[in-house]
Structures are given as structure tokens and as C-alpha cells.
């Protein structure tokens, strides 16, 4: 009967050869992957709407053949009367609804091909009205990016001009806000939204800037904060005030003619109009 040692000696060359072959195949795969893998994507943020037609109900188009591009790093303002479909555009961007025709592309990729988490990571929205959770103000800002450190949260708060206000709260960043804590004004809530968006550092900022409920001074301050935070990012501003629009590189006007059509203006002509 063969001893264990003899058995091993017999099978060792076969086993070693097999292991060597496996190693070679694995190395070849890794090398090929390294060569074929696309370089890590550059931060761009070009947003394109191609012939977007959309209706909530049949035969009642809200948006009709809307096409425009927000080039990477630029700001485009979308303006229009109440009911023109501005908010609907944002809903389509987040895929809360699908267009009846046309498509939306992010850096050339149709957003319907992106995973929900990839889409959420890429776009941050500063809404008209910000929802606050019954939690600390730090957690409310940190909601912008799970896992953000205290220092990052504070940096975002500074960018949104909120740090000084938070420092004066009874427990600073640990103060619970929302239903069971101090109520924040609309302006302060909007700053929380700006800080959240800044923390996310998205490829695209969407700013729903219909701030009719703010007084002129707060509105100006908020606009300054928004412009500071989104200065180097692609920004889509949904606006109904000239002051936001005048900072845009381009303006898209949604008109209401039963259905909605679209025209583009230069910022200067819109600011004068
Ligand atoms: N969930 C919905 N179901 C059906 N119709 C809707 C829905 N949401 C909006 N609409 C209709 O779609 C049209 C466009 O609405 P949308 O909210 O996009 O306009 P808007 O330009 O953002 O208006 P505002 O400036 O007043 O916020 C309106 O006629 C509105 O009544």
C-alpha cells in the first residue's frame, strides 16, 4: 500500500501544473481587465434632454418636444408661467415618471440605463420646500451623503451660510430640529437643503428656485449661497425670478399654448424683458 508521501509525490506534478495553469489564466484575465477597463470616469455632468414629450393624462401634453443641453459646468435656467411644466421636468429627471417620447441623457448615457442609486448620486436637488427629519441638524445635513464625517458636515454648513446659525442653537450641531425641536424658517430650511446638496458634491445641481415666499433680503442671501455652492458644477435652475436667471449661461423658456413649447433666450434679453 502506498504511503501518503508516495501518493503526494505521484500527484504533486499534476496538481502543481494545474495550479500554474489556473494562475496564468487568472493573471491574463486581471491584466486584460486592467487594459480594457475604461479609465475612471472624469467628472463631467452634461445633461441633455432630447425631444421630451410628457403628459400625466392622455391627450393633455404638459411638455412637448422639449430639447436642450446643459453643458458640463454651465448653468441653464428654465423659466415659465405657473403650470408650464417646470417641476414636471425635475420629476422626469429623477424618473418619478417616464416621458411619453424622447430621452434624458447624463454624460451621454440615457438615465433609464443608470441604476437608481447611480442616478441619485449624480443629481442633487435643492427643492422649494425642504423636508426636515426629527433628528439633529447634523443628521439632517448628513442625509446628503451617508457616512459624511462631522467635519464634512460642518464644511457644507459653512458653504450654505448656516454654521453661525447652528452654533447659536442650544446644542449646536446636536440640536434636534423638526417637529420636536426648534422650528426652522423657510430660509433656514432652504440652507439645510443647500448644505445637503453641497455635501453630496453631485455632477448636477437642480435648484428649484421659485422662492416667492422669502423676503427680498433672504432671497438674495440664499441666491448667493446657491451660486457659491454650485459655481463649478452643472446647474439646472428652475426659476421664476429674473435675479436667478441673470446668472445663467442660457435660458430655456417653457410657453403655455394648451401644450407647452420651448424657446431659448440669452440671459441679457430675459433680464430686460
Ligand atoms: N401629479 C399630477 N397629475 C396630473 N397633473 C399634474 C400633476 N402634477 C402636475 N400636473 C399638471 O401638469 C401641469 C404642469 O405642472 P408643473 O407642476 O410641472 O408646473 P410648474 O411649471 O412647475 O408650475 P409652478 O411654477 O406653479 O410650480 C399643470 O397643469 C399641473 O396641473
8 Å CB contact between 190 and 160? no
Best of 84, 99, 210, 256 to mutate for ligand 1, by most ligand atoms within 8 A of CB?
A: 84
Instruction: Tell me which residue has cell 448636477.
Output: 204
Q: How far is the CA of 182 from the centre of ligand 1 (A)?
A: 32
- The predicted pLDDT at position 152 comes to 94
Nearest to 194 by CA among 216, 172, 211, 217: 211
CA distances from 101 to 51, 63, 64, 89, 149 (A): 7, 10, 9, 13, 42
Mean pLDDT for the stretch of residues 93-110 = 96
Mean pLDDT for the stretch of residues 85-100 = 93
Rounded to a whole number of angstroms, the distance between the first and last alpha carbons of the chain is 101
Residue 21 pLDDT class (50, 70, 90 cuts)? low
N residues, the chain: 273
- The predicted pLDDT at position 2 comes to 52
Which has the higher per-residue pLDDT, 140 or 181?
140
Best of 62, 254, 256 to mutate for ligand 1, by most ligand atoms within 8 A of CB?
A: 62
Q: How far is the CA of 86 from the centre of ligand 1 (A)?
A: 8
Average pLDDT, the chain: 79
The binding-site residues of ligand 1, defined as CB within 6 angstroms of any ligand atom, are: 56, 62, 80, 82-88, 210
Say yes or no to pLDDT of 198 above 60. Answer: yes
Q: How far is the CA of 260 from the centre of ligand 1 (A)?
A: 12
| Helices marked H in the chain | 4-36, 86-93, 116-122, 137-142, 150-159, 163-167, 186-200, 216-229, 242-245, 267-272
For the stretch 149-182, pLDDT in tens is: 999 999 999 888 899 999 999 899 999 987 766 7
8 Å CB contact between 62 and 88? yes
Residue 39 pLDDT class (50, 70, 90 cuts)? very low
Q: How far is the CA of 87 from the centre of ligand 1 (A)?
A: 7
Which atom of ligand 1 lies nearest, measured to the CA of 254?
21
Please return the burial class of 234, using the count of CB atoms within 10 Å of its CB with bins 0-12, 13-18 and 19+: buried
Nearest CA to ligand 1 atom 5: 56
CA distances from 229 to 47, 64, 205 (A): 19, 32, 9
CB atoms within 10 A of CB 196: 24
User: What distance in Å separates the CA atoms of residue 83 and residue 63, rounded to the nearest whole number?
Assistant: 10
- The predicted pLDDT at position 181 comes to 64
- Architecture per CATH, 71-99+112-272: 3-Layer(aba) Sandwich (3.40)
The question of ipTM being above 0.90 is answered as yes
Q: How far is the CA of 14 from the centre of ligand 1 (A)?
A: 72
Domain range list for the chain: 71-99+112-272
Nearest CA to ligand 1 atom 7: 56
Mean pLDDT for the stretch of residues 6-21 = 58
For the stretch 231-263, pLDDT in tens is: 778 999 887 666 667 778 888 888 764 345 555
Nearest to 244 by CA among 258, 228, 230, 227: 227
Which residues is 104 bridged to in the sheet?
49
Which atom of ligand 1 lies nearest, measured to the CA of 84?
21
- The predicted pLDDT at position 46 comes to 95
Which has the higher per-residue pLDDT, 187 or 214?
187
- The predicted pLDDT at position 114 comes to 95
Amino acid at each position: 500500500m502506498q504511503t501518503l508521501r508516495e501518493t503526494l509525490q505521484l500527484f504533486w506534478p499534476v496538481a502543481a501544473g494545474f495550479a500554474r495553469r489556473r494562475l496564468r489564466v487568472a493573471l491574463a484575465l486581471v491584466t486584460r481587465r486592467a487594459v480594457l477597463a475604461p479609465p475612471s470616469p472624469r467628472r463631467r455632468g452634461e445633461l441633455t434632454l432630447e425631444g421630451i414629450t410628457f403628459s400625466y393624462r392622455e391627450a393633455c401634453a404638459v411638455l412637448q418636444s422639449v430639447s436642450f443641453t446643459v453643458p458640463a459646468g454651465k448653468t441653464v435656467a428654465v423659466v415659465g408661467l405657473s403650470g408650464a411644466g417646470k417641476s414636471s421636468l425635475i420629476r422626469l429627471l429623477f424618473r418619478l415618471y417616464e416621458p411619453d417620447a424622447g430621452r434624458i441623457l447624463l454624460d451621454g448615457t440615457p438615465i433609464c440605463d443608470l441604476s437608481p442609486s447611480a442616478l441619485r448620486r449624480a443629481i442633487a436637488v435643492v427643492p422649494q420646500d425642504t423636508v426636515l427629519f426629527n433628528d439633529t441638524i447634523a443628521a439632517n445635513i448628513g442625509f446628503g451623503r451617508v457616512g459624511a464625517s462631522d467635519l464634512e458636515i460642518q464644511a457644507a454648513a459653512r458653504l450654505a451660510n448656516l454654521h453661525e446659525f447652528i452654533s447659536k442653537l442650544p446644542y449646536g450641531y446636536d440640536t434636534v430640529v423638526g417637529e420636536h425641536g426648534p422650528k426652522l424658517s423657510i430660509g433656514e430650511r432652504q440652507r439645510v437643503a443647500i448644505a445637503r446638496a453641497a455635501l453630496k458634491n453631485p455632477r448636477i445641481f437642480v435648484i428649484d428656485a421659485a422662492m416667492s415666499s422669502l423676503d427680498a433680503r433672504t432671497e438674495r442671501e440664499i441666491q448667493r449661497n446657491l451660486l457659491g455652492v454650485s459655481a463649478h458644477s452643472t446647474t439646472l435652475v428652475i426659476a421664476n425670478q429674473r435675479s436667478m436667471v441673470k446668472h445663467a449661461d442660457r435660458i430655456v423658456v417653457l410657453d403655455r399654448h394648451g401644450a407647452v413649447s420651448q424657446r431659448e433666450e440669452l440671459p441679457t434679453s430675459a433680464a430686460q424683458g
